[in-house]
Amino acid sequence: GLKRAEILAAAANGIALLVVAALVTYDAVSRLVHPSHVDGAVLIVVAAVGVVVNLAATLIMARANRQSLNVEGAYRHILTDLYGFTVTLIAGVVIVVWGFNRADSIASLAVVLLMLKAAAELLRPALHILLEATPEDIDLQEVRRHLLELPEVTSVHDLHAWTLTSSLPILTAHVVVTEECFTTGDAGRVLDHLQGCLAGHFDVA
């Protein structure tokens, strides 16, 4: 009964990225206008450690089952961190070689763009699910056509499809069947036919 918790967590993850991006933007712009001394050597060491750790984590997460929106969100977080540390490493080298302290602020703004991209890629599917939109790979007219091909079905009304949580699309419909289904006691078998049709053609419950 709490399957939506995964989607809520993914949405919260995306919103958290937006909040952190806003904070980093404010700080980066402030330091861009009023640059302060940055120890490039320390920046290089910290960024290099971050690249190694996140590269290892990325390789591990890449082999995980990322059909879950939360697992995909964690993967994108780590990937964003990897890119961010790489940009920071480059900024540290620029500061050490050329003494251009604003490189740190510019690197921060580049990281913000990466965070915004990751947030959008998380929030879009999460909101799509929370708003109960029809899954993008399901054509309701095609679903209706397949259901009407069953000999017991005469009409289909109130057809709705949405996603409950990651990889769990579901469908409801008002299906009108022939009178014979009830006089012969085959109503249960009709339901099996309907479910088999949906699962076989559309992978929908």
Which pLDDT belongs to residue 21?
A: 93
Other beta carbons within 10 Å of 132: 11
Average pLDDT of the segment spanning 103-124? 91
Per-residue pLDDT tens digits for 152-163: 899 999 999 998
- CB of 68 closer than 8 Å to CB of 166: yes
DSSP secondary structure letters along 112-149:
HHHHHHHHHHHHHHHHHHHTTPPPTT--HHHHHHHHHT
Taking 80 as the threshold, does the pLDDT of residue 20 lie above it?
A: yes
Other beta carbons within 10 Å of 103: 24
Which pLDDT belongs to residue 3?
A: 80
Closest by Cα among 15, 17, 39 to 88: 39
Which pLDDT belongs to residue 1?
A: 66
pLDDT, averaged across the chain: 88
Taking 80 as the threshold, does the pLDDT of residue 187 lie above it?
A: no
Task: Measure CA of the first residue to CA of the last residue in the chain; give whole Å.
Answer: 16
Query: Alpha-carbon torsion 183, 185, 188, 191, what sign?
Result: negative
> In this predicted structure, which of 57-61, 143-147, 152-156 has the lowest mean pLDDT?
57-61
